[in-house]
Chain A
Amino acid sequence: MKFLPLVWAGLWRRPARSIITGLCIVIAFLLLGLLQGVNAGFAKSIADAHRDLLVTSTRVRGGGQMPISAMAIIHSIPGVKEVAPRAYFMGSYRDPAAKNMVAAIATQPELFFRLRPVFSVAREKLDAMRNTRAGLLATPALLEQFGWKVGDTVTLRSQALKTDGTRVWTFSIVGTFDTIKEPTRAAFGIINYAYLDEYRVENRGNAEMFYERIADPTKAVATAAAIDRIFANSSHETRTRSDQERAEFQAKQMGDVQFFTNAIMGAVLFTLAFLTGNTLRQSLHERIPEFAVLKAVGYADAGVLGLAFGEALLLFIPAAAVGLALAYLFAPLAKEDIGAIVVSPSVATAGLLCAGFLALIGAALPAFRISRMSVAASLGKR
């Protein structure tokens, strides 16, 4: 600790150079934090997914829907604890413009909320849903979009024909529910499957998806295969995947962008290592005579080496920390266009380790030269 002032003084020998180098490091780690945060964001959504939840959907999208009667068969498969159906309802409020479209998931709300932990709802809202056949649970964003209030009765015009020959569907808003993903933008509702299915003409008795909870996550693959066997060789073959597989699938849809961010990160780190390494080399090189004086007055080789490395670390670590902190601050700005960037503690730790590593590499060459140089020769350089 007593050498800190000495190291500190070495750093501020040429303040302009140290500050500029520091800024360079800040910038590099800002970029590193953001890019690494994109990857961490994908990884987090995969890790957050639940391994005991399965989703069954039609193998071929746009293909035939599954009969709702299959729910009982799925439920009878050993290891399946709960099953919820899902159908889709689209309607428009007032005139049929794209901006007036309302989407709703038709399901058995009580089961649905248990099987989809990304959504949460209060107990009494679920009770209200059970007691109100034509009930609608809405996200706060949906209420805000059309200026609706809980208790309102709303009329939606849909492509889906009703048994009474009209296309007009009426719902009463019984409450709100929350969603973890994009809470301010997700505008949709949840309705009772039984109500939709009783009155619709097309696709009656069908579901687009089933959600399942299984007892043992390690048997997810076998259970999924058992579910898919029920529908094999029918016009509605299915593909059952765990929540986690689905999250992985979604992350991969971004495609080669991830490959690209990694390539860029490599380029950034290389450039940075070169720029700063050179500055360190220069700065230490200039002071060879000073180090020689230290050695002449009795400092051990290791001590001088320590001073050089200490100076490098003191330059890199705080600057990298500032860069990562900036990345943490900027990350939410990109949410809308790029998606979640998570500058998590592990991203920060990896970043700081990386900074330390770069500092040591940059200082290594000049530091060893100094520590091995003969005192007489170095002093002669004055």
Chain B
Amino acid sequence: MQILAVTAMNLRSIPQRLGNSLVIVIGIAGVVAVLISVLAMSLGFRATLKGDARADRAIVLSRDATTEYQSSLSRENVAAVMNTAGIKHDARDRPIVSAEVILVAPVARKRDQSDVNITLRGVGEQYFVMRPELKLVSGRMFRSGNQELLVGAAAGGQFAGLAIGNSVRLQDGDWTVVGTFAGGNGSRESELIADSQTVMSAYKLEAFNSMAVLLDTESSFTTLKEALAADPTVMVDVRTEPEYLASASSSVNRMLRIVAYAIGSIMALGALFGALNSMHSAVAARTVEIATLRAIGFSSSAVAAAILIEALLLALMGAGIGVVMAYAAFNGTTISTLGGALWDSQLVYSLSITPSLVVIAILLACALGLLGGLFPAIRAARANVAEALHET
């Protein structure tokens, strides 16, 4: 009861020391806005990287290769893998697989016209059967033998010159964009795709990079893995798609995470000092008030608790403003960085301020508010009433 009374009194006096209270609010708003923006970047990247993962798909690479671009699969290998047990077959009893080659296509980023590379993937004819989440959204499929491309929706949004009818300069002249595909929330939307045979003959390639297969069921993975291990003629490794994607592109991922947490924690420390400072002066300015309260019988714990609650409320208000600021500035913003299927191709992803980020922000703000209020609260509780009253 005492706590409530003192808190209410404190809150009512906030307008008289607005500047000071605003320090906590704005300091914490700044930290929260920055922290969730960088976290949204790091999480958005990771989510997009893993967005395609389905446990009933598997990726075959040559032995000891850890990424698609290190891997090389001969046509014989691809044929052998196709006939292995565990792979799902379509209505016409053909195994659902896609042997793929990856290359890069140079494009210009719309935002600043800078030259970047994106992934060009030569895919098999069952690509869309194996990835039902991807849908052709405009235009038509490419025709085998013609130098035609389909553009992922994310790539089309981020880079210039990828509209239907545009042509992209690749090996053997211009390749025409004939359609757009979308879906899956993953890295595939950042890519260009074309018929693998056409790509391989244009680039004079003999080998594929990787092969994706659709499994009968999730548990068929073991069947496939054992069958491939038992065949001495194919030197390949197979892993489930989630497993493969979890290991891919870890360096950019790591960088973004380090940046997010380093910046976040340094800023949090700064805001902690800010909160400490302003609660400190809030208490100092009211030495007499607090002493008076104590003199008329309010307990020191009630006074301390009221100060803590005030700090907490101000911090929460800051968190709210920070979340709104970050949301307004960055939610849904689409950006691109390194992280595509090749070491130097771009991954397009969007920043989303998710509920879990908001929870993190609120928890952080509470921690900062409590820590910032703690020492001033203790000081207020311990102050000698008689001495403090003398300060008038």
Q: A residues within 8 Å of B by Cβ?
A: 14, 16-17, 20-21, 23-24, 27-28, 30-31, 34-35, 59-64, 96-98, 159, 235, 249, 252-257, 259-260, 263-264, 267-268, 270-272, 274-275, 278-279, 281-282, 334, 337-338
Q: B residues within 8 Å of A by Cβ?
A: 19-20, 22-23, 26-27, 30-31, 33-34, 37-38, 41, 63-66, 70, 72, 103-104, 106, 109, 111-112, 114-117, 169-172, 203-205, 251, 254-256, 258-259, 262-263, 266-267, 269-271, 273-274, 276-278, 280-281, 284, 329, 335-338, 344, 346
Query: Which residue, of B22, B30, B65, has the highest number of chain A Cβ atoms within 10 A?
Result: B30
Known: A16-B280, A31-B267, A64-B171. A256 touches B111 (CB 8 A): yes
Output the least CB separation between B107 and chain A (Å).
12
Q: Which residues of B contact A270 (CB under 8 A)?
A: 30
- In the complex, the answer to whether B169 meets A27 with C-beta atoms within 8 Å is no
In the complex, what distance in Å separates the CA atom of A12 from the CA atom of B13? Answer: 28
Query: Which residue, of B64, B66, B117, B256, has the highest number of chain A Cβ atoms within 10 A?
Result: B64
User: Which residue of the partner chain, among A21, A59, A281, contacts B277 with CB atoms under 8 Å?
Assistant: A21
In the complex, what distance in Å separates the CA atom of A121 from the CA atom of B293? Answer: 79
In the complex, what distance in Å separates the CA atom of A271 from the CA atom of B23? Answer: 9
Give 6 new A-B contacts, CB below 8 A, not counting A31-B270, A255-B116.
A268-B30, A275-B270, A275-B277, A278-B19, A279-B277, A281-B19
- In the complex, the answer to whether B337 meets A62 with C-beta atoms within 8 Å is no
Contacts across chains A and B counted by CB atoms under 8 Å: 143
In the complex, what distance in Å separates the CA atom of A34 from the CA atom of B336? Answer: 22
In the complex, what distance in Å separates the CA atom of A24 from the CA atom of B280? Answer: 14
Query: Which residue, of A59, A62, A274, A338, has the highest number of chain B Cβ atoms within 10 A?
Result: A62
Q: Which residues of B contact A256 (CB under 8 A)?
A: 111, 335-337
Output the least CB separation between B205 and chain A (Å).
8
- In the complex, the answer to whether B22 meets A278 with C-beta atoms within 8 Å is yes
In the complex, what distance in Å separates the CA atom of A16 from the CA atom of B269? Answer: 16
Q: Chain B: which residue is nearest A96 at the CB level?
A: B64
Q: Chain B: which residue is nearest A202 at the CB level?
A: B206
Known: A268-B30, A278-B23. A60 touches B64 (CB 8 A): no
- In the complex, the answer to whether A63 meets B203 with C-beta atoms within 8 Å is yes
User: Which residue of the partner chain, among B63, B263, B274, B338, contacts A31 with CB atoms under 8 Å?
Assistant: B263
Q: Chain A: which residue is nearest B376 at the CB level?
A: A16
In the complex, what distance in Å separates the CA atom of A97 from the CA atom of B64? Answer: 5
Q: Chain A: which residue is nearest B251 at the CB level?
A: A337
Output the least CB separation between B30 and chain A (Å).
3
Q: Which residues of A contact B271 (CB under 8 A)?
A: 271
- In the complex, the answer to whether B169 meets A59 with C-beta atoms within 8 Å is yes
- In the complex, the answer to whether B277 meets A338 with C-beta atoms within 8 Å is no
- In the complex, the answer to whether B27 meets A274 with C-beta atoms within 8 Å is yes
Question: Which secondary structure dominates where chain A touches chain B?
Answer: helix
Output the least CB separation between A340 and chain B (Å).
13
Query: Which residue, of B65, B72, B278, has the highest number of chain A Cβ atoms within 10 A?
Result: B278
Q: Which residues of B contact A275 (CB under 8 A)?
A: 23, 26-27, 270, 274, 277
- In the complex, the answer to whether A253 meets B344 with C-beta atoms within 8 Å is yes
User: Which residue of the partner chain, among B41, B109, B116, B171, contacts A260 with CB atoms under 8 Å?
Assistant: B41
- In the complex, the answer to whether A267 meets B30 with C-beta atoms within 8 Å is yes
Output the least CB separation between B225 and chain A (Å).
19
Known: A278-B278, A281-B19. A253 touches B116 (CB 8 A): yes
Known: A20-B276, A249-B115. A338 touches B259 (CB 8 A): yes
- In the complex, the answer to whether B116 meets A252 with C-beta atoms within 8 Å is yes
Q: Which residues of B contact A34 (CB under 8 A)?
A: 262
Q: Which residues of A contact B112 (CB under 8 A)?
A: 252
User: Which residue of the partner chain, among B30, B278, B329, B336, contacts A271 with CB atoms under 8 Å?
Assistant: B30
Output the least CB separation between B114 and chain A (Å).
4
In the complex, what distance in Å separates the CA atom of A221 from the CA atom of B19? Answer: 58
User: Which residue of the partner chain, among A62, A252, A278, contacts B103 with CB atoms under 8 Å?
Assistant: A62
- In the complex, the answer to whether B204 meets A272 with C-beta atoms within 8 Å is no
Q: Chain B: which residue is nearest A16 at the CB level?
A: B280
User: Which residue of the partner chain, among B34, B273, B338, contacts A20 with CB atoms under 8 Å?
Assistant: B273
- In the complex, the answer to whether A252 meets B115 with C-beta atoms within 8 Å is yes
7 A-B pairs (CB sep. < 8 Å): A16-B280, A17-B281, A61-B104, A259-B111, A260-B37, A264-B38, A271-B31
Known: A61-B103, A267-B30. A23 touches B280 (CB 8 A): no
Q: Which residues of B contact A30 (CB under 8 A)?
A: 266
In the complex, what distance in Å separates the CA atom of A130 from the CA atom of B171? Answer: 36
In the complex, what distance in Å separates the CA atom of A96 from the CA atom of B237? Answer: 13
In the complex, what distance in Å separates the CA atom of A60 from the CA atom of B117? Answer: 11
- In the complex, the answer to whether A17 meets B280 with C-beta atoms within 8 Å is yes
Output the least CB separation between A298 and chain B (Å).
30
Q: Chain B: which residue is nearest A264 at the CB level?
A: B34
Output the least CB separation between B201 and chain A (Å).
12
Q: Chain A: which residue is nearest B335 at the CB level?
A: A256
In the complex, what distance in Å separates the CA atom of A281 from the CA atom of B18? Answer: 13
Q: Chain A: which residue is nearest B29 at the CB level?
A: A271
Q: Which residues of B contact A27 (CB under 8 A)?
A: 266-267, 269-270, 273
Q: Which residues of A contact B277 (CB under 8 A)?
A: 17, 20-21, 24, 275, 279
Q: Which residues of B contact A337 (CB under 8 A)?
A: 251, 254-255, 258
Q: Chain B: which residue is nearest A245 at the CB level?
A: B115
In the complex, what distance in Å separates the CA atom of A318 from the CA atom of B72? Answer: 58
